[in-house]
Structure 1
Amino acid sequence: MAATDRALDLAITAAHAASDRKAQEVIALDVSERLVLTDVFLIASGTNERQVGAIVDAVEEAMHTSGAKALRREGVREGRWALLDYGDVVVHVQHADDRVYYNLERLWADCPVIELPEGARGGDGRTDPQE
């Protein structure tokens, strides 16, 4: 069973909000076949604690506007790895260093990647456009 349309819509909403705050490497994974608790993991990263906080704030505001209520929030104060659980979608906003270390994409590599719209993918993390 694939992720529901509602989960996909919420993931795209969260991805747009994260991208608007210059999140890096925003990806969505369909974890519906592997987990019963949620359909989509959305993963985004920021370059510092302040940016992680700004991304979290933007995602929370966008999700609230969409009518989604957070069931759980963890790690928001620390600004290193925030987890926002909206039931159908779990948003992980990580400091770039923590994202490399924990490598959630590797842990969930057997789950399909959800194609996000162009404006919802964030930056690629490169500082030099010639790279």
Structure 2
Amino acid sequence: MNRISEALAFQNVFAPQSVAATTDKTTAYVDASGAREVAFLLSTAALGANKSLTVTLLASDDSGGSDAQEIGTAKFTDKEGTDPRVAVVACKTSAAHGRYVAVKFQHDGDAEVVCGVTAASDGLYLPAGNGWVLAV
């Protein structure tokens, strides 16, 4: 049985940074070939009570995202607004959608909010032997 760090490949596709309200941000595109599913983990600081994060899944035939098509959209609402949140957007890969996938997102908070996005895919992955993986 593989450990989770061996079963999933992780990529930082949007480094944590302040994002202004109602500003669209798009992550880097992930090569989904060889994976059955890709999940994007969108981490945000507290948005504020009843503020929302809107996420759109994109697919393209090239890594730059040209002619990307929208696969689906979801809206996540932060009811309490006091704690950091993680929104998970997952897609099963499909040749009909394109080889590369990304997410576009924006929030409607009252101020800038720090956001970051990690992508995880389920292709067989062996972590690099560079000391950056801790297996306990």
TM-score by length of 1: 0.28
TM-score by length of 2: 0.27
Bigger strand fraction: 2
Rg: which structure is higher? 2
Larger relative contact order, structure 1 or 2 (CA cutoff 8 Å, min sep 6): 2
